[in-house]
Structure 1
């Protein structure tokens, strides 16, 4: 999966179900996607938050796109203040703020690294032991088409079961993967409702979930998915 910034619950269900999870970060950066942004509700209004980037372009790979460090300190401060105010009455506000604050302690200036950290640290917080890797550090041929490249990575890593998001069922055939000795399954996420002030909306950033449910309940929510084949 491409690394997304504080993605929705379904992304974490996929990451939590895996023993090893690959961030596909050496592919094209998609402007307007969820690599550098996501959404919560402010009151009853949908609000998109976006990390400031320097020279972001769809001609670059995700791993090569950088955060605008000149704008970062002010953006970070405003973002944290917005979250603190918006979730002032949320039952697990301190828990959520702590996780977000830890993620925003930059390890480097790459948006891919920041997005990956937003997934890794939430998975770690709920006690899962998923092993995370990034495709940019693997020695895989760049001339392979998308599916063949993923298949080659799985072969090199000794993978016998590959989990894919549900949209992959329109692109990949379980039979073709089985022919090379790898089981392919698609993970259909679910969105358990949780108490929150105001309307409940499925598919918000995991930040909203962190503010409203404790980590034990979130861990249980990660198992609310089904696997299917085609």
Structure 2
């Protein structure tokens, strides 16, 4: 999976569910994607939080090379203010806010490093102990299914668990069959939890789950995990 900024709960659940999680960090950066932004819930509804990056003249840059634009006015102060406004009255705001704000305020140059620091923070608070790896540190090649199969071979995987969004092109590809690696699709049903600001709003950053549910967040996250469908080679 590409390293996501403030990922949603299902992303963290997938990480918890596998034996090893690989960050796909050597592929091309997609501006205005989940790699640099995500949503939180506020009194006015969902709000985007976006990390400003340096992208002019760098259309082909890899995710690992993307630099945060620290010269952008109001970053990260404005982002911290939005989180404070959205979750200041949440039950566990005081338990997590200071640490999250400290990470956002650190002088981190690369977007990848910020995303990983936040993901590691969420891993710790959700009691996820899955080891992680980075595709940029592997001797792998290809695109789409070919690349994923090559990563699986590099890791010595006997099963590949994929997000369902990749099903169409994986089912049409032969690379996993040729590698002898079954493909399973991760099935996740978004759980509900008590939120501030009215009715439940799904698909927010996992920050929403932590701020509202605290020590129960890991248990609630795992409630959404369903059995996978499997495609054997």
What TM-score comes out, normalization by structure 2 length?
Answer: 0.87
CA distance in 2, matches of 1:219, 1:100: 21
State the match for 1:45 in structure 2: 45
Q: Is contact 1:95–1:210 with CA below 8 Å preserved after alignment?
A: no
CA distance in 2, matches of 1:111, 1:192: 29
Q: Is contact 2:191–2:220 with CA below 8 Å preserved after alignment?
A: no
State the match for 2:171 in structure 1: 173
Q: Is contact 1:2–1:25 with CA below 8 Å preserved after alignment?
A: yes
Matches within 5 A, 1:1-230: 1-55=1-55, 57-71=58-72, 74-104=74-104, 106=106, 108-141=108-141, 144-173=142-171, 176=174, 177-197=176-196, 198-226=198-226, 227-230=228-231
Residue 99 of structure 1: how far off its partner (Å): 4.5
CA distance in 2, matches of 1:107, 1:152: 35
Q: Is contact 2:162–2:183 with CA below 8 Å preserved after alignment?
A: yes
State which drifts further: 153-162 or 166-175: 166-175
The change in CA–CA distance for 1:184 and 1:9 in structure 2 (over 3 A counts) is same
CA distance in 1, matches of 2:19, 2:107: 24
Alignment RMSD = 2.2
Residues 119-164 of structure 1, C-alpha deviations (whole Å, 9 max, x = no match): 22201222221111111121223xx222112211211211112111
Q: Which runs of 5+ in 1 are unaligned?
A: none
Residue 21 of structure 1: how far off its partner (Å): 0.7
Q: Is contact 1:174–1:185 with CA below 8 Å preserved after alignment?
A: no
Q: Is contact 2:53–2:67 with CA below 8 Å preserved after alignment?
A: yes
CA distance in 1, matches of 2:72, 2:173: 49
Q: Which runs of 5+ in 2 are unaligned?
A: none
